[in-house]
Every structure is written in structure tokens, then in C-alpha cells.
Amino acid sequence: MTKAISRRALLAAAGLGAASGIAGTAAAEESKVLIVGVSCSPRKGMTTAIAMAAALEAAAGVSPRIVTELIDLGGMKISGSDGSSSSGGAAGLTDDFEKIVPILESPNLGGMMIGSPCYYRSLSSLCKAFLERLAIFRAPVLRFADLPVGALSVGAYRNGGQELVIDQILTAMLCHEAMLVGGKPRAHQGATLWNGFNNDITKDELGMESARHLGVRVAEAALKLKG
């Protein structure tokens, strides 16, 4: 990562990338494209969150219009759907999911990445709960229709089920008519990382590269679809 790109990513993440003077502020605000990365590990700030942060940094480097937000679900308490509404939502539930809703409701939302650790070749229960609770965004309109969505997964084994987890996440997002995307070559499926270095995920160079390639692809698709 060059100094120039890091600075651009930092400005974009701070929401300053497109702003130029007071007169241009409102227009710049509107033209921002928000990419959200959700880390669905119960362990806050660990390998899934770090990989997602790298994907977001790469996304921010694509254009000064891109702004990013990491939602780390680590430590949050989120229940799965209680099945109480016809949309599968959980209208009556009050838990940490409420903190996330305003971010996902942003009119600037242009793309999403969802990351989960592999648990027994499947996604974490936290990730499943998060996906179920997204049901509130399906009615009365499909708010995530045509939203580019990509996925990331970290496992302790080299072939520990990362691609299965990505498949499960993306399949769930089909229920929103989201635009499913992978990553730039060679991360066609999305980002797959191997936690083989005692939780220092940055040492998995190929995996980190796949995270960056996912971020770039989601950002490019978001810019195209937002116009």
C-alpha cells in the first residue's frame, strides 16, 4: 500500500474525500458511496474484523467518492428472527441490531461485504442471526435490491470451508435481490483467509490479497450501480 493510497483511503473513510469547500459540501455529501463491511465473529477485532478492515481500505482506495464503515459485531448480542412477522423480521426484538440499522438505512449505501469465521464448515450463529434480522429490509420494499454484496470468510484450516461459508452468505442475500459479486482475480468467489499464524491474519498474504480484491470489486460495482 503506497503512502498516496493510504492517505486517499483515510480521507475517504473520514468522509472527506469528495468534499471541496463549503459550497460543494452538500453535493459532495450526496455523491458519496458508502461501503459497509460487517464482521460476524463474536471475537471483536480478531481475524475476520482485520480482514474486513483491509477489504474496506482497498475499497476506499478505488475512488475519493467511496466512504467506508466497519461494523464489528464482536461483543454484540443479536438474536435470530423470532418469526413474528410475515417478512421473517423481528419487529418486537430489542438488542444490539438496533445500533446497526441506521447505518444500513443510509441513502449513500452503495455496497456491502459480509464476513464470517468458518464454524464447522458453516457460518457463525452470529452471522446467521444478522442475516435473519436483515429481513426488516425486505418489506415494504426490497431496500437491498441491486446492492452489490460480497463475502469474506476466515478459517483455521486451509480448506476449512471458507467457500461454503461465502456461498451460504451470498445465497441468503439472494432473498434481497442483491447483486452478488466476488472479488477481482484471483478472488473470484470472494475473500478466503487462513488463520494459520496464531491469529495474526496479516501473515496470510494470499488471504489478505483476496480481501483487498473483494473490496476493490465491491467498490467498482457500487460506483457503477450508483452512477
Ligand X SMILES: Cc1cc2nc3c(=O)[nH]c(=O)nc-3n(C[C@H](O)[C@H](O)[C@H](O)COP(=O)(O)O)c2cc1C
H-helix or E-strand spanning residue 33? strand 33-39
User: Which string of x and - marks every residue 9-48 that binds ligand X (by CB under 6 A)?
Assistant: --------------------------------x-x--xxx
CA 31 – CA 26 distance, rounded (Å): 9
Cα–Cα distances in angstroms (integers) from residue 53 to residues 72, 86, 187, 208, in the given order: 10, 35, 17, 10
Closer residue to ligand X in complex, CB, 5/164: 164
Contact call for residue 121 and ligand X (CB under 6 A)? yes
Amino acid at 116: S
CA 197 – CA 110 distance, rounded (Å): 34
Q: Which range, of 118-126, 128-136, 182-190, 209-217, touches ligand X by CB under 6 A? A: 118-126
Q: How many residues does the chain have?
A: 227
Rounded least distance, CB 162 to ligand X, Å: 7
Which residue of 17, 161, 182, 215 would you call a contact of ligand X, by CB under 6 A?
Answer: 161
User: Which string of x and - marks every residue 138-157 that binds ligand X (by CB under 6 A)?
Assistant: ----------------xxxx
CA 81 – CA 118 distance, rounded (Å): 21
Which residue of 53, 54, 70, 118 would you call a contact of ligand X, by CB under 6 A?
Answer: 118
Closer residue to ligand X in complex, CB, 105/200: 200
β-pairing, 191-194 vs 148-155, is parallel
Residue nearest ligand X, CB atom distance: 160
- Asked whether the beta carbons of 129 and 90 are under 8 A apart, the reply is no
List the one residue out of 3, 40, 26, 1 whose CA is nearest residue 212.
1
Binding to ligand X (CB under 6 A): which residues in 71-100?
none
What is the binding site for ligand X (CB under 6 A)? Answer: 41, 43, 46-48, 117-121, 154-157, 160-161, 195
